[in-house]
Structure 1
Amino acid sequence: MPIHREFPNVMTETNSKTAFVTGGNGITGSAIVEYLVNNTKAEEWQRIITTSRSPFKNAVSDPRIEFIALDFTNPPEVLIEKMRDVCNDVTHTYFSSYVHRDDFQELNIANCALFENFLNALTAVAPNLASVTLQTGGKHYGVHLSPVPSPAREEEPRRAATVDNFYYPQEDFLIAKQRGQNWSWNVVRPEAIIGTTMKPNGMNSALTYALYILTCKDSGEEPKMPTNQIYWNGYDDCSYAPLIADLTLFVSTNSGCANQAFNVTNGDYFCWRYMWPRLTAYFGIQTSSEHDFQQTSIKIGDPHLEIALKEWATNEKRKVWDRLCDDMKCPEAKGTWDAGTWQYQDWVFGRTWSATLSMSKARRYGYKGYVDSFEAFVETFEKMKKLKQIPS
């Protein structure tokens, strides 16, 4: 399906550059690598270095791509020894690495250390460093906790720090580290990232939607959106990984955008009561925009679910999925079930408030990128089919 885009691909810097992309197997990291391969030439970007803790797999190939296995939980002195020769000419770096911990306090500590180890090592080995871009997200505005001014804008004051939000200390460390240096920083804040990677990635709501809808369809169950009346009737947005890559490259290579934070979403807003039936229709099952909720007197700000995916995704449902994959001659997709983020999606759909991000600042700085969100979902599902992550 052709997608209407305005991806500007505008880069004002002309000197040959070297990119260093962390999280190369993740949704954003792989999208940045793919963007550089498909939209730049060797005269612009001479090397594309990428890293992850696991072996690198990507949908594109290019002689400029170089992989180095790094674990940023290691201290800087260990990383420096591994990075010194490879990263000596790095000019632009893009950080989207993440480490998961079930305990919120441990999660915060681990991801702060992850970024600090990375940046301390990088600045020690890259004398020609020009730009460092950190990806955070909508959690910066507290969208995960309670209603916030919507659409949230970059200039709004921070909310009180919480134990599960490592974005503030990461951003503070970046800004403090840059003071007095020749390089500049950017922070990019997407919301509800969708996209594809070579192996099923759990940090991707689109994958969970596909698992849920297809399993319901095969078992004769109506795939009602597992949410509440307020969220169903409210408005939302999301961020398509190729567009995140496009904005990331735009702001990091335009001097007028230096030392600034930017939201990045597809550029449209949608109402779930109309989006959900379109998603189920794509998978061949008709659902209605009219949804009779059992609980209609919900207080805004009090999370509520009528269907909890964590409880829905039983071993019996897993058996349905496995049988479906066999019936559709796509046994490779059986393992995709393990990437379903049931609990995370319950948290998202359980909100009783809308939380969107403003793209006005990016527009003021000259960015024109846009993707229709439904078409982004469709393209994502189509790519998942080609990768045999879901049956076709």
Structure 2
Amino acid sequence: MQKTALVVGARGVIGGNLVAHLEREGDWRVIGLSRRGGDDAGVVRNIAVDLLDRNDTAATLAPLTEVTHVFYAAYQDRPSWAELVPPNLAMLVNVVDAIEPVAPRLEHISLMQGYKVYGAHLGPFATPAKEDDPPHMPPEFNVDQQDFLERRQLGASWSWSALRPSVVAGVGLGNPMNLAMVIAVSASISRELGIPLRFPGKPGAYTSLIEMTDANLLARATTWAATNPGSRNEAYNITNGDMFRWCTMWPKIAAFFDVDVAPPLPMSLTEMMADKADLWNTMVEKYGLLPTPYQDVSSWQFGDFVFSWDYDVIADTSKSRRAGFHDYVETEAMFLRIFQNLRDQRIIP
């Protein structure tokens, strides 16, 4: 039976890589939802929609009667943890309210989460985090979204799954949470200025353990959880499978960009990179790069957030392995592959 995926948030680094993976699998039709929409190509149809507008969402999704799987990866950023809850919960509710009544073959709703479920954004948390760890004090929109799906699924014929990656790395522009772009653009600017690459985060962050999640691996895990009968109504931590410290990874990243490494120097990337738009535009012209607005090439606030983690950020992935997902990606190789991909696409010099 033909499967039709509705990818919500199809233009983000997670959603975009998921769409590409579904195309490669070959047995999916894909409908991508995003605020900006996009061009249709092959099995992929893109639709623009404002998910915060309940009426627009209902009207736009009403014709999508063929949908069998919803992959939810949409996100709206806000200044505080409490402010994140209303819009991000509302978007999910609007999608489910719109698609469930019109898609009689709906089998599964996949929810993209993260380590905020464990309180990783608040400070040192119990590591390695496990899917059944006790909850922390709200607000937390990831938790509210899962609670909504669990309640909504009772008595329904469809199932849900929740994927909990670490920091996701992949190729994607205009995304508020893309650490690979933060590193690539800051390293490229450092080389252009003739200065060494310095780790900008807190001193403790340089030596703490951290892990990453490759966007392609996450896409494979997402479709696995959505189609594996044994994964119905379960949450899974998904990571590359290795851990590292920035103090050992940073010199390897610097070597790729052919820049020296100097001792870490805590600084706010949001502040230090605020005046670099003219420099970036000059680099775009000088190196014949893809014309990309400076505000779309990186997410400095997210970089500041990740580089402030002066505590271990790791999760236990044994649950997904016991259930049958065994993919592994070496994180150093992942970074170098993404950086080379960015060069090949003429996004960075």
Regarding TM over 0.5, the answer is yes
Alignment check: 8 A CA contact 2:280 2:294 kept? no
Report the alpha carbon displacement of residue 329 of structure 1 after superposing the two structures with TM. Answer: 2.9
Please give the secondary structure, in 2, of the residue aligned with 1:332: coil
The one-character-per-residue Cα deviations of 1:29-75 (angstroms, maximum 9, x if unpaired) are: 1111111111223xxx3x211111103258xx42x222222221111
TM-score in terms of structure 1 length: 0.84
Aligned to 2:20: 34
Report the alpha carbon displacement of residue 184 of structure 1 after superposing the two structures with TM. Answer: 0.5
Report the alpha carbon displacement of residue 84 of structure 1 after superposing the two structures with TM. Answer: 2.2
Structure 1 CA distance for aligned equivalents of residues 342 and 199 of structure 2? 21
Counting only pairs closer than 5 Å after superposition, residues 158-177 of structure 1 correspond to structure 2 as 158-162=135-139, 165-177=140-152
Aligned to 2:253: 279
Query: Is 1:73 aligned to residue 52 of structure 2?
Result: yes
After superposition, the Cα gap between the structure-2 partners of 1:371 and 1:331, relative to the gap in structure 1 and judged at 3 Å, is closer
The one-character-per-residue Cα deviations of 1:371-390 (angstroms, maximum 9, x if unpaired) are: 11111112212222233221
The one-character-per-residue Cα deviations of 1:53-106 (angstroms, maximum 9, x if unpaired) are: 103258xx42x222222221111x543332222x21211110001122335433
Query: Is 1:327 aligned to residue 273 of structure 2?
Result: no
Report the alpha carbon displacement of residue 337 of structure 1 after superposing the two structures with TM. Answer: 5.0
> Which amino acid counterpart does residue 277 of structure 2 have in structure 1?
R
After superposition, the Cα gap between the structure-2 partners of 1:200 and 1:73, relative to the gap in structure 1 and judged at 3 Å, is closer
Structure 2 CA distance for aligned equivalents of residues 279 and 194 of structure 1? 14
> Which amino acid counterpart does residue 97 of structure 2 have in structure 1?
N
After superposition, the Cα gap between the structure-2 partners of 1:176 and 1:105, relative to the gap in structure 1 and judged at 3 Å, is same
Please give the secondary structure, in 2, of the residue aligned with 1:117: helix
- Compare CA radii of gyration and give the structure with the larger one: 1
After superposition, the Cα gap between the structure-2 partners of 1:384 and 1:331, relative to the gap in structure 1 and judged at 3 Å, is closer
The one-character-per-residue Cα deviations of 1:182-209 (angstroms, maximum 9, x if unpaired) are: 1110011111111113x44332011111
Aligned to 1:184: 159
Aligned to 2:186: 212
- Kindly indicate whether structure 1 or structure 2 has the higher relative contact order, using CA contacts under 8 Å at least 6 residues apart: 1
Query: Is 1:226 aligned to residue 200 of structure 2?
Result: yes
Aligned to 2:126: 149
Structure 2 CA distance for aligned equivalents of residues 120 and 99 of structure 1? 19
Structure 1 unaligned spans of 5+: 1-14, 294-304
Alignment check: 8 A CA contact 1:26 1:201 kept? yes
> Which amino acid counterpart does residue 267 of structure 2 have in structure 1?
I
Aligned to 1:126: 103
After superposition, the Cα gap between the structure-2 partners of 1:257 and 1:338, relative to the gap in structure 1 and judged at 3 Å, is closer
Report the alpha carbon displacement of residue 336 of structure 1 after superposing the two structures with TM. Answer: 3.9
Aligned to 1:299: none
> Which amino acid counterpart does residue 51 of structure 2 have in structure 1?
F
Structure 2 CA distance for aligned equivalents of residues 237 and 282 of structure 1? 20
* CA root-mean-square deviation: 1.9
Percent identical among aligned pairs is 31
After superposition, the Cα gap between the structure-2 partners of 1:160 and 1:184, relative to the gap in structure 1 and judged at 3 Å, is same
Please give the secondary structure, in 2, of the residue aligned with 1:134: strand
> Which amino acid counterpart does residue 358 of structure 1 have in structure 2?
D
Counting only pairs closer than 5 Å after superposition, residues 1-392 of structure 1 correspond to structure 2 as 15-41=1-27, 45=28, 47-56=29-38, 61-62=41-42, 64-75=43-54, 77-85=55-63, 87-162=64-139, 165-197=140-172, 199-287=173-261, 291=263, 306-315=266-275, 317-330=276-289, 332-333=291-292, 335-391=293-349
After superposition, the Cα gap between the structure-2 partners of 1:209 and 1:57, relative to the gap in structure 1 and judged at 3 Å, is farther
Structure 1 CA distance for aligned equivalents of residues 49 and 344 of structure 2? 29
Alignment check: 8 A CA contact 2:185 2:298 kept? yes
Structure 2 CA distance for aligned equivalents of residues 108 and 351 of structure 1? 23
> Which amino acid counterpart does residue 178 of structure 1 have in structure 2?
Q
After superposition, the Cα gap between the structure-2 partners of 1:120 and 1:389, relative to the gap in structure 1 and judged at 3 Å, is same
Alignment check: 8 A CA contact 1:31 1:245 kept? yes
> Which amino acid counterpart does residue 67 of structure 1 have in structure 2?
N
After superposition, the Cα gap between the structure-2 partners of 1:320 and 1:53, relative to the gap in structure 1 and judged at 3 Å, is closer
Alignment check: 8 A CA contact 1:200 1:336 kept? no
Report the alpha carbon displacement of residue 338 of structure 1 after superposing the two structures with TM. Answer: 4.4
Structure 2 CA distance for aligned equivalents of residues 172 and 368 of structure 1? 28
The one-character-per-residue Cα deviations of 1:251-286 (angstroms, maximum 9, x if unpaired) are: 110110100001111111111111011111111113
Structure 2 CA distance for aligned equivalents of residues 205 and 161 of structure 1? 26
The one-character-per-residue Cα deviations of 1:289-347 (angstroms, maximum 9, x if unpaired) are: xx4x6xxxxxxxxxxx72221221142x33333333333232625x2454422222112
> Which amino acid counterpart does residue 25 of structure 1 have in structure 2?
R
Alignment check: 8 A CA contact 1:20 1:90 kept? yes
Structure 2 CA distance for aligned equivalents of residues 187 and 370 of structure 1? 19
Structure 1 CA distance for aligned equivalents of residues 324 and 215 of structure 2? 20
Structure 2 unaligned spans of 5+: none
Alignment check: 8 A CA contact 1:22 1:29 kept? yes
Please give the secondary structure, in 2, of the residue aligned with 1:175: helix
Structure 1 CA distance for aligned equivalents of residues 5 and 152 of structure 2? 20
